[in-house]
Amino acid sequence: MPSSTSPTVAPLSTRVKMEDRKRPAVNSTDDIAPPSKRQAVNGSSKAKDDTDTKDEVWVEEYQKDAIYRQMLEYKREKTTLEARLEELDKRSTYHDDHIRVMDGWWTQVKKLLQEISLLVNGTVNFSDESEGRRHFSMFGCSATNTIPEQPFPTRTQFKDNEEFEIHLDEKATKIKSILGTLFSQLANNRGKITPNVTNLESQVNNLLASQKDLILKVDRLTSDKTAFRNS
């Protein structure tokens, strides 16, 4: 009868040594990867940090550039507004001058109209104009009328008002001198002047129409000046 043989069992120490050779002990998961892979992983982490830093720098530079462009835009707007303000100031100054000239001339015209309305009935003595008094001598009689120098005080007062008034008075004096001479010659040649009422009414109507036109122009210029100042 054959004898039974038991299987041979390797010693425990031998099995441990064989497993150690098959799977060496590792300390971390990083050591499992090959050296080239570990280097790639470490390099990508560093590259990511560099990319984040570059993005932050780019954003900061972009913000600075945007702020600088906005400042330049504000500077251009400031220059444009200053130029416009200067132009409006000049136009307002010239506008005021035009109104003053028209107002002064219109005052002189009204004074002339009043004097002409008296000249048609006689001669006028302008020797006392410097004191603001005018003496009128009527044909066939002697009378003295005192009229204020400014019967319609609607003038605009301004810096050079006195010089401007002197200039207008010189022109008015020449006109009145010519009119006085003409009426004197007519009185001497024809005797007492009998004015044509219809003709005088026509002249008065024309003068009133001119007055309305001038008043409308003054009102329009005044409105334009107010609009310029409010803009």
154-180 per-position pLDDT tens digit: 444 445 566 666 766 777 777 777 777
Least confident among 56-70, 137-151, 159-173, 184-198: 137-151
Whether residue 118 lies inside any domain: the answer is: yes
What is the Cα–Cα distance from 117 to 112, expressed in whole angstroms?
8
Range in 12-21, 69-78, 117-126, 140-149 the model is least confident about: 140-149
Domain span including residue 221: 95-230
Per-residue pLDDT at 18: 55
In a domain, 109, yes or no: yes
Q: What integer pLDDT is reported at residue 124 of this predicted model?
A: 45
> Domain for residue 124, yes or no?
yes
Please tell me the predicted confidence (pLDDT) of residue 192. 55
Q: Give the pair of three-digit tokens for residue 227.
A: 């609009």
pTM of structure: 0.28
Report if residue 42 sits inside a domain.
no
Beta bridge mates, 138:
122
Q: Which residues lie across from 2 on neighbouring strands? A: none
Residue 57 lies in a domain: no
How far, in Å, are 98, 100, 161 from residue 105 at the CA level? 11, 8, 12
Chain centre distance of CA 136:
53
| 119 CB neighbour count, 10 Å cutoff | 19
193 belongs to a structural domain = yes
Residue 102 within any structural domain of the chain: yes
Can you say whether the dihedral through the CA atoms of 155, 160, 165, 167 is positive or negative? negative
The rounded distance, in Å, linking the Cα atoms of 208 and 214 is: 10
Contact in structure between 134 and 119 (CB atoms under 8 Å):
no
Q: How many domains does the chain have?
A: 1
Could you give the CA distance from residue 150 to residue 76 in angstroms, rounded to a whole number? 52
51 part of a folded domain: no
Q: What is the Cβ-side half-sphere exposure of residue 40, based on CA atoms within 13 angstroms?
A: 5
